[in-house]
Amino acid sequence: MVSPRVRGFLFDMDGVLYRGRQPLPGARAMLETLTRHHVPFALVTNNSTRTPRQYARLLAEMDMPVPEARIVTSSVAVASYLRARLRPGSPILLIGEPPFRRVLERAGFVVTWDDRAKAVVVGLDRQLTYQKLAKALAALGRGARFVASNPDPVLPTDDGLLPGAGSILAALRYATERTPVIIGKPRPTLLREAMARAGLRRHETAMVGDQISTDIAAGRAAGLYTILVLTGVSAAGGPRRGQLRPDLTVRDLRELRRWYARR
């Protein structure tokens, strides 16, 4: 793709802006430059285990202040998706953690385990039980909507890989033979939600990420200019043969900042 007139950015966070609790090279300067010049941007993540407010606090601790309104998690996008389809106060059965529950409740839904659930929402739940799966299965059997935050099969941690939200999702898909609506990357819904909140249009937005299978795939699905940074999952190098190719590959956000300044 020919480089477009990029007017704004969507950034993945972990592996792009920071790793663990350490800012990555150029992250602070990139965000400061965009803020100073009033360039619209938003931060997007599949992770539903923190609220935007919690992410804003985490970033502030790393000296990267970002307003809560600029942070769009998969749980926020799920809530927006459901608000467009269910009445206020509708009961939701959630397989997910307390931050996800808070986002849904702030959106006006009632999180419940009873038989009234109008939707089953699945995210990462590190306290998953057989009983939770059984309740979700029953609600889906009664015709509840089936919505998932993201399909990530594993969760990278300092101690290695753990089962991700997609692993939980796979159990319910197999048991019900139903296909869920997936909101997070690599589907484009999360990015479209973030663009709407940032006031950006497809042809003027760049998606910046460190994972080809999620960030770059989602950006391509949303019709965005895609930029791969080699500071996270793809740190060993760019795309391998057969992989989706980004429109631009940079070593880190220092190089991206220089690229943007030349435009």
**Catalytic sites, residue numbers:** 12, 14
Residue in 95, 191, 105 with CA at minimum distance from that of residue 146: 95
| β pairing state of 205-209 and 225-229 | parallel
End-to-end CA, the chain = 16
Angle of CA points 182, 186, 189, to nearest 5°: 55
Q: Which two tokens stand for residue 160?
A: 């290695």
Residue 82 near residue 109 (C-beta atoms within 8 A): yes
Separation of alpha carbons 102 and 81, rounded Å: 16
